[in-house]
């Protein structure tokens, strides 16, 4: 055997490689496997950093910080998934977020508008930006890449014009306290338990109904599959929250995630988004008004500008028109892709994108702890993205070949 291995012919090597690829593709077809692969990679990276940093990485304090650091990218990644799933791209996110921040800061700092009113105005500004770009894409048929490339330029330009390039700070204390504060540990852990209970109740209800309708024979395996990952995540969250509580921003992210996940997986609108990305012509011939659905998708992306812009601006307590959100769109798209969203549309999960954001955030955080220069950090993130897309392509090829 050793003899033959040493001297295998190129044909044999090809054969082995093909078999390996085949089995990989077979595995990939079994549902959301790649998210589990991603989870595995994440665990490996975490353990490695844990060892390398002498136990600092997985400390409660650092994990809390990590969650906070990934919040902004995660928010943007959620909206990236919702657009990419329909074969649309938004590269204006960073600039749009900066402009929302300028609206918030100018209203509160320069004009003395009360924070609740200013937040509402900032959200509306985001929605308007999303609707504006959606109009160009769906009414005039201009590719979203172009529309948002233009947006990236003039949203940034407008931010600089309005602020004259100066930082507008500091924001009222209530806003800053929201963005940097924590829900106290007791309330945090209670909230986690309540949410877990609600989720379990919902799953039991759904599983019972599925059994009553004859879709599944036994409830337990269904419940285990639905509950296991959530329980693990809840335990991790409980561990971190028990010491410091949960940052309000992370709570905001959790709320947005739940809303987006419900929208994508459990509403007609979300199903239509996937259908449009899967095959726009088929969607049209099945009676879906593609233009109107995609327009609403862009409006939601606008809402995400608003939420992300407010969170980002409040966190640093001011609007920095020139540098706020720079490269955010690229990090968001990278997180979505790493998390399994297909660039050719029709496939992508919100939770996957959050894992993708967490993976990139972990690399940043861990390398910072190790005092790796930022140049190396950028490089490693690039390579992670490349590998993730390569996996995407391989799995895709396996499907189309047949």
Partner 1 sequence: MTTLVRTRGLTKRFPGVLAVDDVDLAISTGEIVALIGQNGAGKSTLIQVLAGLAAPGTYEGELTLADAPFAPGSVSEAEAAGIVVIPQEVNVVGDLTVGQNMFLGAEPTRRGLVDWAQLYARARDVLREFSIDVAPQARMGSLDLATQQLIVIARALSKQARLLILDEPTAALTENEVERLFGHLRTLRARGVACLFVSHRLAEVFTIADRIVVLRDGRIQGDHRTAETSRAEVVAQMTGEAAAAAPAGPPVAPTVGIVALETENLRVYAVDEPARQVVAGVSLSLHAGEILGLFGLLGAGCGPTALALFGAWPGQVTGRVQVSGRQVAIRDPSDAIRHGVGLVSQDRRDTLMLEHSVTDNVTLASLASLVRRGFLDLAGRELLARRYVARLDIRTPTTAAAVGTLSGGNQQKVQVARWLAAEVRVLLLIDPTRGVDVGARAEIHALLRQMAADGHAVLLVSSDAEELVAACSRVVVMRAGRIVDDQPAEGLTEGRLLHAAAGVAA
**Where on the chain is the footprint of partner 1 (CB under 8 A)?**
31, 206, 209-210, 213-215, 262, 265-268, 270-272, 274-275, 278-279, 281-289, 346-347, 399-400, 402
Closest approach of partner 1 to the CB of residue 293, in Å: 11
The structure tokens 């540990």 sit at: 185
Closest approach of partner 1 to the CB of residue 230, in Å: 17
Closest approach of partner 1 to the CB of residue 70, in Å: 28
Closest approach of partner 1 to the CB of residue 199, in Å: 15
Closest approach of partner 1 to the CB of residue 29, in Å: 8
Q: CA angle at residue 41 from 35 to 42, to 5 degrees?
A: 90
CB 401 within 8 A of CB 32: no
**Best CA proximity match to 79, nearest among 199, 253, 247, 246:** 253
Nearer to partner 1, 28 or 156 (CB): 28
How many CA atoms does the CB half-sphere of 224 hold within 13 Å? 4
349: left (phi over 0), alpha (psi -120 to 50) or beta: beta
The structure tokens 């600092």 sit at: 56
Tell me the sheet residues that pair with 23.
Answer: none
Closest approach of partner 1 to the CB of residue 147, in Å: 22
Closest approach of partner 1 to the CB of residue 354, in Å: 22
Nearer to partner 1, 262 or 370 (CB): 262
85 burial type by CB count under 10 A (0-12 exposed, 13-18 middle, 19+ buried): buried
Q: Which two tokens stand for residue 181?
A: 């504060």
Nearer to partner 1, 140 or 285 (CB): 285
Nearer to partner 1, 101 or 270 (CB): 270
Q: Which two tokens stand for residue 390?
A: 């390569």
> Among the residues of 85-114, which ranges form H helices?
93-105
Nearer to partner 1, 207 or 367 (CB): 207
Tell me the sheet residues that pair with 183.
Answer: 246
Nearer to partner 1, 88 or 176 (CB): 88
Calpha distance 359→364 (Å, rounded): 9
101 burial type by CB count under 10 A (0-12 exposed, 13-18 middle, 19+ buried): buried
Nearer to partner 1, 177 or 399 (CB): 399
Nearer to partner 1, 48 or 286 (CB): 286
Nearer to partner 1, 177 or 289 (CB): 289
Residue 109 Cα distances to 100, 104, 105, 120, 248, angstroms: 14, 8, 6, 15, 22
Calpha distance 308→300 (Å, rounded): 12
Closest approach of partner 1 to the CB of residue 117, in Å: 29
In angstroms, how far is CA 15 from the centroid of its own chain?
38
Closest approach of partner 1 to the CB of residue 26, in Å: 12
């Amino acid at each position: 055997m050793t003899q033959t291995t040493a001297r295998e012919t190129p044909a044999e090597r090809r054969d082995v490689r093909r078999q390996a690829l085949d089995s990989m593709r077979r595995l990939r077809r079994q549902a959301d496997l790649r998210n589990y692969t991603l989870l595995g990679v994440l665990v490996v990276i975490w353990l490695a950093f844990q060892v390398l940093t002498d136990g600092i990485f997985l400390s409660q304090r650092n994990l809390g910080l990590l969650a906070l650091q990934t919040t902004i990218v995660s928010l943007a990644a959620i909206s990236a998934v919702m657009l990419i799933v329909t074969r649309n791209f938004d590269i204006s996110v960073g600039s749009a977020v900066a402009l929302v921040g300028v609206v918030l800061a100018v209203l509160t700092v320069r004009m003395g508008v009360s924070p609740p009113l200013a937040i509402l105005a900032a959200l509306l500004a985001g929605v308007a930006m999303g609707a504006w770009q959606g109009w160009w894409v769906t009414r005039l048929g201009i590719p979203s890449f172009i529309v948002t490339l233009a947006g990236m330029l003039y949203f940034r330009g407008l931010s600089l014009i309005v602020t004259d390039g100066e930082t507008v700070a500091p924001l009222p204390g209530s806003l800053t306290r929201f963005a940097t504060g924590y829900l106290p540990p007791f309330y945090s852990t209670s909230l986690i338990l309540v949410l877990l209970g609600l989720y379990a109740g919902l799953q039991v209800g759904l599983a019972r109904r599925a059994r009553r309708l004859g879709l599944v024979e036994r409830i337990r395996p269904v419940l285990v599959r639905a509950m296991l990952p959530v329980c693990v995540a809840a335990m991790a969250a409980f561990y971190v929250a028990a010491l410091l509580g949960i940052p309000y921003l992370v709570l905001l992210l959790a709320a947005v995630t739940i809303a987006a996940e419900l929208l994508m997986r459990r509403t007609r609108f979300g199903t239509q988004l996937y259908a449009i990305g899967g095959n726009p012509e088929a969607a049209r011939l099945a009676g879906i008004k593609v233009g109107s659905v995609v327009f609403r998708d862009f409006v939601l992306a606008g809402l995400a500008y608003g939420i992300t812009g407010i969170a980002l601006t409040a966190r640093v307590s001011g609007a920095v028109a020139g540098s706020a959100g720079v490269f955010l769109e690229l990090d968001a798209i990278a997180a979505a892709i790493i998390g399994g969203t297909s660039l050719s549309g029709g496939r992508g999960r919100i939770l996957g994108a959050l894992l993708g954001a967490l993976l990139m955030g972990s690399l940043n955080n861990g390398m910072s702890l190790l005092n790796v220069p930022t140049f190396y950090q950028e490089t490693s993130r690039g390579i992670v993205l490349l590998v993730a897309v390569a996996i995407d392509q391989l799995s895709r090829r396996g499907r189309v070949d047949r």
